[in-house]
Amino acid sequence: MRACIPLVLAVLCSLAWADLYSAPTSCQGRCYEAFDKHHQCHCNARCQEFGNCCKDFESLCSDHEGFSHSSDAITKEEIQSISEKIYRADTNKAQKEDIILNSQNCISPSETRDQRDRCPKPLFTYVNEKLFSKPTYAAFINLLNNYQRATGHGEHFSAQELAEQDAFLREIMKTAVMKELYSFLHHQNRYGSEQEFINDLKNMWFGLYSRGNEEGDSSGFEHVFSGEVKKGKVTGFHNWIRFYLEEKEGLVDYYSHIYDGPWDSYPDVLAMQFNWDGYYKEVGSAFIGSSPEFEFALYSLCFIARPGKVCQLSLGGYPLAVRTYTWDKSTYGNGKKHIATAYIVSSA
């Protein structure tokens, strides 16, 4: 399969003509210019695909990945501003009385490989399951049993499962959270219509890609929200609802945590260790108490604005970093890499 390239932003450079050609082996002033066979190296949108980029392409041009319809990159300040708006718009989140956590033992990062169960009690003491009857929660939960968790086995969706993907997208697009995100991206000239945005989200999250030799054995949604097992270890699995439901069934055993966020209400952030039906997760960071649309919106924002990079957010006045990863072997078309994973990497 032909390798895909990142979705990129065409940059209009302001250097004078003489300056442009004074350093033809550099991308200075040449980011995403049209291909010219006379140049020694290239800075166009497909140079990474053909392996003929100038050496400084990544350092000079990569900060503008994520956009194709605009000449304006999303700034760090804009990302922090829209993430705060999304945070305030999450009216479907859990209230304080909806969840009682028992986080128990906090360990040091050096102890995460020990695979020792230092917490005899479950993480969740109580969850108000009335939350799960809300339309976005219900649609989200319907998706969780649509996957084989072991990588290397191709995923094949039934008509019902495909309909459940559409139902989830339809429900979250009714929320203030996703309306805030779409409005922001539309204003940034990334999407011309809401339907274009929805179509892209479906490909981005539910389009299949390969993590091994088997074609189509994974997707962004499966990895991030449902969780997978690869080479005897848990990968992904960054969702509190999934964790609670599996823990309730006796399939997840909470071991410890290394970080508990500064938020005094939900959503909060917890970085934890756990065993999932015989497979260990060394560090699994997750929002706690957030709505499905909240997580979906923030991870989508970060993938669109900072694909394959650390994305600096702000939530309730506190900084938070989310890292996304891209993947080549995908069904996500039009020259884009696929979302492979998104997870919380730091907070301060």
The domain limits of the chain are: 18-57, 74-343
pLDDT for 48 equals 63
Helices 292-305 & 76-89 angle (0-180, nearest 10): 170
Query: How much of the chain exceeds pLDDT 90, in percent?
Result: 59
Cα 44 versus chain centre, distance = 26
Could you tell me if 326 and 338 are in contact, meaning their C-beta atoms sit under 8 angstroms apart? Answer: yes
How distant, in Å, are the alpha carbons of 108, 183, 226, 234, 275 from that of 278? 23, 43, 16, 9, 6
pLDDT for 214 equals 60
How distant, in Å, are the alpha carbons of 195, 283, 327 from that of 170? 10, 32, 26
Mean pLDDT of 275-285: 94
Q: How far apart are CA 9 and CA 299, in angstroms?
A: 20
Could you tell me if 154 and 212 are in contact, meaning their C-beta atoms sit under 8 angstroms apart? Answer: no
**Look-up of token digits 């339907």:** 195
- Which helix (H) or strand (E) segment is 280 a member of? strand 279-288
pLDDT for 338 equals 54
Other CB atoms within 10 Å distance of the CB of residue 42 = 22
What pTM does this model have? 0.77
Rounded to whole angstroms, the maximal C-alpha distance in the chain is: 70
Mean pLDDT of 288-304: 96
How distant, in Å, are the alpha carbons of 95, 299, 327 from that of 316? 15, 17, 32
pLDDT tens column, 130-148: 999 999 999 999 999 987 7
Q: Indicate if the pLDDT at residue 190 is higher than 70.
A: yes
**Look-up of token digits 């995403």:** 32
pLDDT for 50 equals 64
Mean pLDDT of 223-241: 92
Low-confidence winner among 30-39, 266-275, 312-321 (lowest mean pLDDT) = 30-39
Cis preceding linkage at 292, omega within 30: no
Q: Indicate if the pLDDT at residue 25 is higher than 70.
A: yes
Residues annotated as part of the active site: 223, 238, 281
Q: How far apart are CA 174 and CA 136, in angstroms?
A: 9
Record the tokens describing residue 254, joined without a space: 């909470």
Mean pLDDT, rounded, of the chain: 83
Strands (E), 65-122: 99-101
The model's confidence at residue 71, banded by pLDDT at 50, 70 and 90, is: very low
Fold classification of 18-57 is Factor Xa Inhibitor (4.10.410)
The model's confidence at residue 295, banded by pLDDT at 50, 70 and 90, is: very high
Record the tokens describing residue 175, joined without a space: 């929320």
Could you tell me if 340 and 326 are in contact, meaning their C-beta atoms sit under 8 angstroms apart? Answer: yes
Angle at CA 64, nearest 5°, toward 59 and 70?
Answer: 155
Record the tokens describing residue 313, joined without a space: 């957010």
How distant, in Å, are the alpha carbons of 32, 45, 64 from that of 23? 16, 19, 21
Selection from 57, 71, 56 nearest residue 9 by Cα: 71
Q: How far apart are CA 23 and CA 123, in angstroms?
A: 58
Contacts of residue 185, defined as CB under 8 A and 6 or more positions apart, other chains included, come to 191, 197, 301, 304
The type of residue at 175 is T
Could you tell me if 326 and 337 are in contact, meaning their C-beta atoms sit under 8 angstroms apart? Answer: yes
pLDDT tens column, 100-122: 999 999 999 999 999 999 999 99
Q: How far apart are CA 317 and CA 48, in angstroms?
A: 38
Q: Indicate if the pLDDT at residue 288 is higher than 70.
A: yes
pLDDT for 4 equals 28
Instruction: Indicate if the alpha-carbon torsion angle 326, 327, 328, 330 is positive or negative.
Output: negative
* Pairing mode, strands 233-235 and 252-260: unpaired
